[in-house]
Structure 1
């Protein structure tokens, strides 16, 4: 069985602001006051201009600008999105998460922007690499966003506590299936 996710996660209020700025965003509520925006091709295409503001629909992509913030592990990550994350994070922390698993093995990457800059990460775990005592990359950034594993709630970690297991693919977050 596989699991793949590429998304932005932040406080629901901040995600609503981000979604209002990017018509292709399809925000979904998570538990604990968080929400996510699946990083669909349509959402990412809005940032291909590299200037940090969504591109006009149908506009040709501009050449990619050099990366400024150290997000090289995210090979799907358009430069314009990095600039918007920095801007949005002035209001509240916001994270970028990625997971890709098949048959119980895979990788995770996650980072948090806060106060206009990359604040945590990118934190990565490679295939067959055990998670450190502080948890998986995604659980670490969720903890930075305020997620908690509740007493008696049955969640193993922050990933489970906010409900990221509800769908097994990025596209499923959009379709609800």
Structure 2
């Protein structure tokens, strides 16, 4: 099983997120991105638009079991939604331009390089559960 709920921020938005979201803890991903694990099942994305005034911010969710699952992503920049919300439900193929999370990461500046996709390139497979990111 794989489960992730997180906010991913660019380096330029990092300080704003830490100042604006109580208890925010960011984990470096590489490629000038950081991940804030979200423990709550229902996360209020309202403050992310404000946090994006200084750089792009994404909210992502993924849940997989046995290769089947769902993904969700939305990106804000300059206080506005610039991507999404994008969602792929179980048994739906990923869009031709990549999974919702890979599209969001690309919008934040992540490069696929020699990896399978941007998801893989920034190491989102490093942990299988959001709680594991919290203890990293």
Note whether the superposition's TM-score is higher than 0.5.
yes
How far apart are residue 12 of structure 1 and its match? 2.9
**Equivalent residues in 2 for 1:144-159 (5 A)?**
144-150=107-113, 153=114, 155-159=115-119
Q: How much has 1:22 moved relative to structure 2?
A: 3.1
Q: In structure 1, which of residues 151, 155, 167 is the aligned counterpart of residue 127 of structure 2?
A: 167
**Equivalent position SS for 2:30:** coil
Q: Which has the higher strand share?
A: 2
Q: Which of 80, 91, 105 is the equivalent residue of 2:54?
A: 91
RMSD between superposed Cα atoms in Å: 1.4
Partners in 2 of 1:140 and 1:159 — Cα distance?
Answer: 9
Gaps of at least 5 residues in structure 2 are none
The TM-score, its normalising length taken from structure 2, stands at: 0.93
Q: How many residues align?
A: 136
What is the distance in 2 between the residues matched to 1:20 and 1:40?
A: 18
Q: Taking structure 1 as the reference length, what is the TM-score of the superposition? A: 0.72
CA deviations 1:78-119 (Å, max 9, x no partner) are 2xx41x211111111110000010110000000001111111
Aligned to 1:131: 94
**Runs of 4 or more off by more than 4 Å in structure 1?**
none
Say which SS state the counterpart of residue 36 (structure 1) adopts: strand
Larger C-alpha radius of gyration, 1 or 2?
1
Contact kept, 8 Å, 1:19 with 1:25, in 2: the verdict is: yes
Q: Which has the bigger relative contact order, CA under 8 A and spacing at least 6? A: 2
